[in-house]
Amino acid sequence: MSTTTVTPPPKKVNRIGLEVINYKGGKTTLCAGCGHNSVSERIIEAFYELGVEPYSVAKFSGIGCSSKSPAYFLGLSHGFNGVHGRMPAIATGALLANRTLMGVGVTGDGDTASIGMGQFIHMVRRNFPLIYIIENNGVYGLTKGQFSATADLGSTLKSGTVNDLPPFDCCALALRWGATFVARSFSGDKRQLQAIIKTAIAHKGLSVIDVISPCVTFNDHEGSTKSYSYMKDHETSLHELDFVPYFQDIAVEIPEGEVTDVEMHDGSHLRIRKLGRDYDPTDRLAAATVLEEAESKGEVLTGVLYVNTSKPTFLEQLNIVDEPLGTLPESQTRPSRAALEQIMEELR
């Protein structure tokens, strides 16, 4: 019948009524197949599915291929692409000005492990509340293929040059010096990476997520230890991860067997299904041990290595007012006439 009206199918929205398109960004300009694009997609999914309000998020990055990616997700969030290696400082300042923001930083191995090592490790020491994602491909992409400080010993460049220096392990550094959520993943492992990002969203301290993200142009050849084929052969998952947001009924799906639940700050749960091994992600020493073991076996260990939900964040330690400092009214930021008179009297 010609009078029948077709109702379009209802748009799929998340719990705050936004569609997934509201979490997307500009069109990527990175190479087709770049691992970084997969990371952007996981970020989009995680923020959409958890229903995080994009206006409350601020994105940060340094310089490099990885640091371009914040333009490609969360287009409704403010973003700041700063200078090379100094994203932690920009993010720190922004969140000092507005502690109600959720900060998401994307960086690379050059940005973090070389020029930005100082800022990285000091941010770690402060347990500054930020989701800090390292898109780690072991190579300088934007300058066309030099080794970075996370390139594995003995790995080769396209030109055949062999790397004769050992790599920094950013997870080991983060673990040792004070990050309260430390994870490693692989850009090709959609399920795991998404669960890790969701957990990081629920975590209130610093989350360092080292994502092996192969460079298809300069570092996806035989001899590279951060290529897709190498990762497929050498990746070892520590465990399987599930993330149950606080607004879902936790009782819905209780997996059997060896399961550990870690309660996050907002009441959500990181659920870890162990793979035949007794691993406690709240034990920092155990995390250090499994990292060392994996390294000696030539494995890339992925999963949530460490979670600490009790340590205060840097912002909590400052005892600042709850509302954003940046927009406090003059009545709260300019002391009174009497105060100035009192100070002047003391100086007479």
**Which residues would be at the binding site for other proteins (CB under 8 A)?**
22, 53-56, 58, 70-71, 75-83, 86, 88-98, 100-101, 118-119, 122, 318-322, 324-328, 330, 332-335, 337, 339-340, 343-344, 347-348
User: The tokens of 28 are what?
Assistant: 């990527």
* CB 211, CB 166: distance < 8 Å: no
**From CA 303, how far away is CA 242, in angstroms rounded?**
11
Please report how close the Cβ of residue 15 comes to other proteins at its closest, in angstroms. 17
Alpha helices in 144-283 (DSSP H): 170-177, 190-202, 228-234
Q: Map residue 342 onto helix, strand or coil.
A: helix
User: The tokens of 121 are what?
Assistant: 């490790």
**From CA 231, how far away is CA 337, in angstroms rounded?**
65
Please report how close the Cβ of residue 35 comes to other proteins at its closest, in angstroms. 21
**Residue at 185: amino acid letter:** S
Please report how close the Cβ of residue 326 comes to other proteins at its closest, in angstroms. 3
Would you say 83 or 286 has its CB closer to other proteins? 83
Would you say 119 or 207 has its CB closer to other proteins? 119
Please report how close the Cβ of residue 135 comes to other proteins at its closest, in angstroms. 18
Please report how close the Cβ of residue 90 comes to other proteins at its closest, in angstroms. 4
Please report how close the Cβ of residue 22 comes to other proteins at its closest, in angstroms. 8
Would you say 3 or 336 has its CB closer to other proteins? 336
Would you say 63 or 183 has its CB closer to other proteins? 63
| Distances, alpha carbon 281 to alpha carbons 14, 65, 80, 98, 277, in Å | 30, 31, 32, 31, 12
Would you say 59 or 239 has its CB closer to other proteins? 59
Would you say 27 or 277 has its CB closer to other proteins? 27
Please report how close the Cβ of residue 206 comes to other proteins at its closest, in angstroms. 15
**From CA 213, how far away is CA 211, in angstroms rounded?**
6
Please report how close the Cβ of residue 169 comes to other proteins at its closest, in angstroms. 21
Would you say 165 or 328 has its CB closer to other proteins? 328
**From CA 259, how far away is CA 273, in angstroms rounded?**
5
**From CA 135, how far away is CA 212, in angstroms rounded?**
6
Would you say 26 or 298 has its CB closer to other proteins? 26
* String of DSSP letters for 3-65: TPPPPPPPPP--TTS--GGGGB-SPP-SPTT-HHHHHHHHHHHHHHHHT--GGGEEEEE-SSH
* CB 8, CB 59: distance < 8 Å: no
* CB 176, CB 24: distance < 8 Å: no
| Element spanning 80, H or E | strand 78-81
Would you say 20 or 83 has its CB closer to other proteins? 83
Please report how close the Cβ of residue 40 comes to other proteins at its closest, in angstroms. 14
